[in-house]
Structure 1
Amino acid sequence: MARNLTPKCRQCRREGEKLFLKGEKCFSDKCAIERRNYPPGQHGQKKSRQSDYAVQLREKQKIRRIYGLLERQFRRAYHQADRHKGVTGENLLQILESRLDNVAFNMGFGASRAESRQVVKHNAILVNGVKVNIPSFQVSPGDKIQVADHAKNHLRIKASTEIAKRRNYPVWMDVDSQNLSGIYKSRPDRSDLSSTINESLVVELYSK
C-alpha cells in the first residue's frame, strides 16, 4: 500500500507549524518547529512572496498531512463532501474527523494518527462490538469505539492513553479511559475544530 515516507518533522517544518505527527515529541522542546521554525532545504530561510495558488496548495497539503491522507484519498473525501448538503469545507473536515483512525487517536488509543492507523489495521479496535480494520471507516454518531480485549495490555496503547489524559478530549465524544472505550456523540461543529485550518482555500483550489 502506498504511503508518505517523508520524515514527519520535515513535513511540519514545510508547513511552518506543528501538525502533531510525532505524538509526545510534539509537546516537548525536541520538536523540530521549536528548534528550526523554517522550511527544510538550502533555501528554507529565504522569504519569498507566494501566489494565491501556492497559498491554496500549501493549505491543502497541510490538511492532508495532518490527517495522513494521500492525494487520491483526500480528493475522494473532497468529492464526497461536495455531494453532501451544507458547506463543502465544513463537510470535508467532518468527514476527516469521522475516520476511524482519527477517532481512535482523539480517544487516546494511539499517540499519533499514524500510530492509531496501525492499531486499527492490527484488529485492535471494535466498533459497536465488531472488529473493524479499515482506517478510513466512517464512524457515525452514537457508535461505540473500544479497544479489543487482546490489545488492552499493549504497552503503546497504555502509553497513548496516559498521554491523552493530559490533554482535553474533544467535546463531541465521551471517553472512558479506564475501560479504553468511548462514544462518538456527534460530528464536530466547525467552531470546535482547529482555527489554524482554512478549508475554504481547499475548496477554492479544487473548484478551479
Structure 2
Amino acid sequence: MAVNREPILKRCKALGISPMVMGVAKETKRDPNANKRRKVSEYGLQLKEKQKLKFIYGMLEKPFFHYFELAQKMEGQAGANLITLLESRLDNIAFRMGMAMTRREARQLVVHGHFLVNGKRVDIPSYRVRVGDVISLKENSKKSEKFKQIIEATAGRTTPTWLDVDKEKQTAKVTRLPVKEDLDYEIEEHLIVELYSK
C-alpha cells in the first residue's frame, strides 16, 4: 500500500494549516509568507483545498474520489457531505476521542484491532460510524502502557461536540453526524466540488 512519508511540518506549511490539526504540537520556524508573492490560479486554489483535505485525513486520490462520489449521491450539498463522510471514519474518531496522537497513528491502531464498535472488533480504518454507535478500547488495550501514555499526552485536547467521550471508560458515543462547523481547521469545500465537476 502507498504511504505518504512527507514530513508533516513541511506539508502543513505548504498547505497553510496548523500542525496542531494533525495532532503535532510543534510549529514550523520557516517564514509563513515566503511564497505569498506567487499569484495562484483558480485551479491552483481548488487543487490546494483538495490536497489539504486529503493530507489531513491521510488519503490517496482513488479512495478520496470515491468519497466524493458517495457525497454527490447523498442528499444535501456534496461538499458538506464529503466532510461528514471523512469525519465519520473510525480512524478519525479514534484520533478525535484522544486515543491516538495523530490520525496516522490512529489508523495503525485500528488496523491492529485495538478498537471495538458496539462491542465488536473492527480493524478497518475507513469503517463509517453511525449515530448511536459506541466506540471503545479493547479490554486488553486499556491495560497497555502505550495507551496510558497517549491518554496522558492528549488530556488537554478538546473533543468535538458530536462525540460523547468518557475518558475514564475510554469510550465515545456518536450523538450526531459531524458538520463543517465542528472542524478545527478552515476549508473551502465548494472549491473541491468545483474541481471535480470540471
Q: TM-score, normalised by structure 1?
A: 0.89
Amino acid at match of 2:145: L
Contact 2:83 2:179 in 1 (8 A): no
1:71 maps onto 2:67 in alignment: no
Q: Figure out how many residues of one structure are paired with residues of the other and give that number.
A: 198
Deviation of the 1:194 alpha carbon: 3.8
Question: Equivalent residue of 2:43, what SS?
Answer: helix
Separation (CA, whole Å) in 1 of partners of 2:140 and 2:63: 30
Separation (CA, whole Å) in 2 of partners of 1:195 and 1:120: 24
- Identify the residue that residue 3 of structure 2 maps to in structure 1: 3
Question: Equivalent residue of 2:136, what SS?
Answer: strand
CA RMSD of aligned residues (A): 1.7
For structure 1, list consecutive stretches of 5 or more residues without a partner in the other structure.
none
Write out the 4+ residue segments of structure 1 that deviate beyond 6 Å after TM superposition. Answer: none
Instruction: Kindly indicate whether structure 1 or structure 2 has the higher relative contact order, using CA contacts under 8 Å at least 6 residues apart.
Output: 2
Closer, same or farther: CA 19–94 of 1 in aligned 2, 3 Å:
farther
Separation (CA, whole Å) in 1 of partners of 2:108 and 2:37: 38
Deviation of the 1:21 alpha carbon: 6.5
Query: Residues 107-135 of structure 1: CA distance to partner in whole angstroms, max 9, x if unpaired?
Result: 11101101111110001000001100000
Question: Equivalent residue of 1:146, what SS?
Answer: strand
Deviation of the 1:161 alpha carbon: 1.8
1:198 maps onto 2:198 in alignment: no
Contact 1:128 1:143 in 2 (8 A): yes
Closer, same or farther: CA 176–204 of 1 in aligned 2, 3 Å:
same
Separation (CA, whole Å) in 1 of partners of 2:92 and 2:146: 17
Q: Sequence identity, in percent?
A: 40
Counterpart pick for 1:86 among 65, 68, 76: 76
Question: Equivalent residue of 1:165, what SS?
Answer: coil
